[in-house]
Amino acid sequence: MVDQPATAVLVHSPYLGPASLRPLAGALAELGHPVLLLDLRVTVNAAPVHQRLIGVFADAVEDAGVEGELVLVGHSGAGPLLPAFADALETPVRGLVFLDAELPTPGRSWREGAPAERMTRLKAISRDGLMPRWDLWFAPEALSAMVPDVRLLEEIVAEAPEVPLAFLKEPRPTVPWTGACSYLRLSGTYDGAAEAARSLGWPVVSLDAHHLAAATAPDRVAAALVPLLSRR
């Protein structure tokens, strides 16, 4: 009996939208790998963000009618929620893949592990309790260097939501996960997370790319991702 590949459920960062992962979804499909790309933007416009994200995630996967096992692939800020996402599903989850992502910090908020100056800056640029779109956190040239395709960059930026500052203070879910985990590093920003994953005994694959490589180099990212999706 041939082992059926698990469906890769691609979960975008809370600060971005599905456009940041859509090219990767296409590349995985071209490789013959089943894939489900979610759109969770509606969940991040009001607190409690974590709770809303988990509920809408579970509904979206159920509504998609996916059969067989799943592997959840969380990009960036979606990483810490992967165990909670898996726990919310009736469909069996084979494993979790952290894609240039933060690792879970059960019961602790982003603020507790972040440098104080970063929180101070995000407070300073927030208005009416909302952080500005993710692209406005950086100099314009930094993003255009990562995504030189103007049309693609405009699509990614247009989807970026304004997330409540309270999201950074919300304790992350405390959910046990004992299944398979792996890490795909795309950028030097996540070297620390990749090292932490390696210290936990997880398989770690590193690409010399950048944080949005799933959009700009989808074939490379898909080729590196497929072996991780097959782990049990």
Give the three-class secondary structure for 180: strand
What local confidence, expressed as pLDDT, does residue 132 receive? 93
Q: Which two tokens stand for residue 23?
A: 């090219």
Report the distance separating Cα 62 and Cα 2, nearest Å.
Answer: 25
Q: Which two tokens stand for residue 112?
A: 């507790």
Maximum Cα interatomic distance, the chain, rounded to a whole number of Å: 58
- Look over the chain and give the mean of its residue pLDDT values, rounded to a whole number: 94
Cα–Cα distances (Å) from 181 to 82, 138, 223, 232, in that order, read: 10, 31, 18, 9
pTM of the entire predicted model: 0.95
Pick left, alpha or beta for residue 68 (phi over 0 → left; psi -120 to 50 → alpha; otherwise beta). Answer: left
Is the confidence at residue 125, as pLDDT, over 50? yes
In the chain, the domains with their CATH numbers are 7-229 (3.40.50.1820)
CB atoms near residue 139 (< 10 Å): 9
What's the pLDDT tens digit per position in 32-79? 999 999 999 988 888 899 999 999 999 999 999 998 999 999 999 999
Give the three-class secondary structure for 2: coil
